Amino acid sequence: MKQAKRKFTAVAGLLLAGTVALSACGGNNSANSGSEGSSGSGKSEPVTIKYYNWDNEAQAVTTDAMLDKFMTENPDIKVEHVVLVPGDSVEMLKKLDFLISSGEAVDVVAMPSLGAVYERATRGALAPLNDFYKQENLVPEDEYYVNPKIDGNYYGMQLTSSFNYVLLNKDALDEAGLPVPTYGWTWDDYRDYAKKLTKGEGVDKRYGTYFHTWELYMNAPAQTVMKDPFRYEDGSTILSDPSYKYFFQLRKDMENVDKSAKPYADVLAAKLNYRTEFFNEQAAMILTGSFTIPDVGNQEQYPHTFKTAFAPVPLPPKGAEPKDYEGGKYFTSGNSVVMGENSKHKDASFKLMRFMTTSDFDKRTEFSGWKKADNKAMLDRIIGENKELYDVDSLQSTLFGDDIKYLDASSVITVSTSELTKVIDDGFSKFMLSNESIDDVQKWMVDQATKIINEKESK
């Protein structure tokens, strides 16, 4: 996540509504160049393509059922499901890179993040999709929330979407006489809610909120309302942004002044779990992601009696808006599917990609990256039998309200994410655990990030 954690990311099966039957892309596209099978009679020979991912055993069952449905509807295409490394997307990418470097013809691949797409696209390992979209009269921005693009070329279709939101203890809200927040509330409002929801003392204290140890909770605006949490669209470091000074100070004041958030030092020392902090009523609010929707109804793992409400992520107040702020649109992440540049069956691969990202399949368990999907039907399936534990109206408006808009992919390709993340972590710890001023800490962060960007990044 960016969602609970942007690395987040992170996420997945998919849901999507409306089966879209597409004819194979034709024309003189360089993706074709005689790669599809044909016979002397002019009839197409069945072709076999491979779909690579990192499914675990349970996910593979769902994927196989989806692929069976595709092959039933497209008898001229056979799909071989190749699980490179079960349950491990990081190791899967390493194995994929080895296959590509060894010359294996790669057809369709699931990618766990935008960074993974960009990295391989810039190396020439992925095929651009522009001509295929054009042949089908498709505008990517009308189809998917996020469209990874380099120099005008599109390189991936969004398979799943994950969304950030705030979980709230509805019983605690009612007790405090507070309405469920709606789109447009700010982080100043969040602070006020946290103060009013704090109750008790000592081991029985219920904090108004809980912030976990991830970067999401160190500068939430950077992680939720900006396209990239590390760099502006001009390539420079985002660590100089006014939202950093604002949110760092907000976090410290909520701990030290308001006493409405559990101290960061205690969170680090105790290695706490953010889910149990909320469901055990140690905290009345928590910023997290849509992957936690099933947890609300999971009484076996998280037994509780209160109803959970949902609210959109607060927006930065006036004076603390990020530099590249786009008026309250939210970041969304998820998995993508891409096509290998050396695929010999690009038409068939494109058809599979569109099927995977747009067809209705009742065994899917993640929200779709396709804008035209019936994600409300997916939500009903996720909620299941324990509907009484959900404030369904607030959940639906948080995810699908008319005001909720999402950012497209950043035009900046950041490869030194681990180094920049460490700068954020270290800077936040400096500020929260010492008496260093925010100005000194931010200057140190900017200097460190700029050095990394100058050495390792290109605009």
For 381-407, the pLDDT digits (tens) are: 889 888 999 999 999 999 999 999 998
Q: How confident is the model at residue 458 (pLDDT cuts 50, 70, 90)?
A: low
Q: Where are the alpha helices (DSSP H) in 204-345?
A: 220-224, 242-256, 264-270, 274-279, 293-296
For residue 305, count other CB atoms closer than 10 A to its CB. 8
Percent of the chain with pLDDT over 90: 70
The predicted-structure confidence for 430-452, as pLDDT tens digits, reads as follows: 999 999 999 999 999 999 999 99
Q: Where are the domains of the chain?
A: 47-161+333-383, 164-329
Mean pLDDT of 323-335: 90
Burial of 39 (0-12, 13-18, 19+ CB in 10 A): exposed
Domain at 164-329, CATH homologous superfamily: Periplasmic binding protein-like II (3.40.190.10)
Q: Is the pLDDT of residue 15 over 90?
A: no
Q: How confident is the model at residue 37 (pLDDT cuts 50, 70, 90)?
A: low
> Does the CA dihedral 102-85-35-337 come out positive or negative?
negative
Q: Where are the alpha helices (DSSP H) in 284-401?
A: 293-296, 346-358, 375-383, 392-400
Q: Residue for token digits 């001229």? A: 76
Q: How confident is the model at residue 375 (pLDDT cuts 50, 70, 90)?
A: confident
Tell me the residue length of the chain.
459
Residue 459: what pLDDT?
A: 46
Q: What are phi and psi of 31, to 5 degrees?
A: -70, -20
CATH architecture of 47-161+333-383: 3-Layer(aba) Sandwich (3.40)
437 is written with which tokens? 């001023």
Domains 47-161+333-383 and 164-329 share a fold: yes
Beta-bridged to residue 138, according to DSSP, are none
Q: Is the pLDDT of residue 30 over 90?
A: no
Tell me the one-letter amino acid at 339. M
Q: Return the SS3 of 280.
A: coil
The predicted-structure confidence for 59-88, as pLDDT tens digits, reads as follows: 899 899 999 999 999 999 999 999 999 988
CA distance to 26, 36, 37, 82, 345, per residue, from 46 (Å): 16, 9, 7, 19, 11
The predicted-structure confidence for 96-150, as pLDDT tens digits, reads as follows: 999 999 999 999 999 998 888 988 998 999 999 999 999 999 999 999 998 999 9
Residue 43: what pLDDT?
A: 57
For residue 145, count other CB atoms closer than 10 A to its CB. 23
Residue 408: what pLDDT?
A: 84
Residue 237: what pLDDT?
A: 95
How far apart, in whole angstroms, are the C-alpha atoms of residue 140 and residue 157? 8
The predicted-structure confidence for 238-263, as pLDDT tens digits, reads as follows: 999 999 999 999 999 999 999 999 99
Q: Where are the alpha helices (DSSP H) in 21-88?
A: 57-73
The predicted-structure confidence for 284-296, as pLDDT tens digits, reads as follows: 999 999 989 999 9
Q: Is the pLDDT of residue 44 over 80?
A: no
Phi-psi region of 328 (alpha: psi -120 to 50; beta: other; left: phi over 0): left
Beta-bridged to residue 311, according to DSSP, are 166
Mean pLDDT of 447-458: 89
Q: Residue for token digits 């042949």? A: 135
Residue 409: what pLDDT?
A: 82
